[in-house]
Structure 1
């Protein structure tokens, strides 16, 4: 299991990482809110342990931005013990709230409880700039205009958008969208990307589907 700890206090951060790794978790550390959000969006984690009072971007803002694109479980770990703070955290989408100082055994118990809740539910709506994907209704719009996609085009766009900012290789895309092993002589991914671009990008000045030469594709907003 992979856990991201976002904690700016050096001793606390190092203590958490050491304890989690000794407990068998793959733990990594971000020391400010901006870096924590970037790591949370760029990689898949089973859980995020998040402080509230952070430099560059506080924990509230990190969680609010994260919930726009991911439903990764979040456990707030903070010295702020007011009931109003706990309620705010839970209303923003936190899954648990533990007040400092804490017993490490309790933290581990809460982590195990969160992990037993099962797979993370994906967001019903994914947004990238002016693109909106309503997953349950399988509806795609840009600038409030409906875009008709085939089933595979929708699956491809949803995959790239929900992992916004992450480069996916052609073999990864072929495996996850077509359930096939990628053959270097097969251009199915490139053809599908061209067709998707014709609908998603060509009619609009802001291009969202990006090519990383020699690697694959990603969806992100670029100036």
Structure 2
């Protein structure tokens, strides 16, 4: 039975919706991206989908399920559409819970800190160097955790590429913004090698290019 495309709501420059798109690509699940501008996220039409007024959100016509929050969406996608555990692990196994552990670390420990670093560097009306320092230091801390764990490992869990690895990639697109303070190749070589391995995958490479195209189209 052929699947109907899932609708994925996102923003052109955001990371979290494109992170979900990477998972959809890896699972070969059809989907359509709907780009929504920030002001429209707070309007009733979109808040009827996501009362938090942020992205991503998905609407899945195959199951009738609507979800928001990227971590919950990723868990739903792999558990619904990866029955062979090509991108996940057997339910109840040690690796199954370790993958969840890394996903939760990404959504709570990477995304918010990286996002605040970008906000206070580019968008906040006041220049607050001490605040920028705090969040750049958090980027370094999170990167150090990953770099340490990846010493001698190809992937985060069970020696196998999974959604746990893919979930971290898109937020590292901000790295050039802090190139004068963070050099991934020299400061975090194990992390950098891992990122390069993942970005070389066709599904991941496609989404990186799709995001770049969406950003160019919005200018």
The structure in which a higher percent of residues are strand is: 1
Which has more radius of gyration? 1
- The structure, 1 or 2, with the larger RCO (C-alpha pairs under 8 Å, 6+ apart) is 2
The verdict on a shared fold, with TM-score over 0.5 as the criterion, is no
Q: Tell me the TM-score normalised to structure 2 length.
A: 0.29
The structure in which a higher percent of residues are helix is: 2
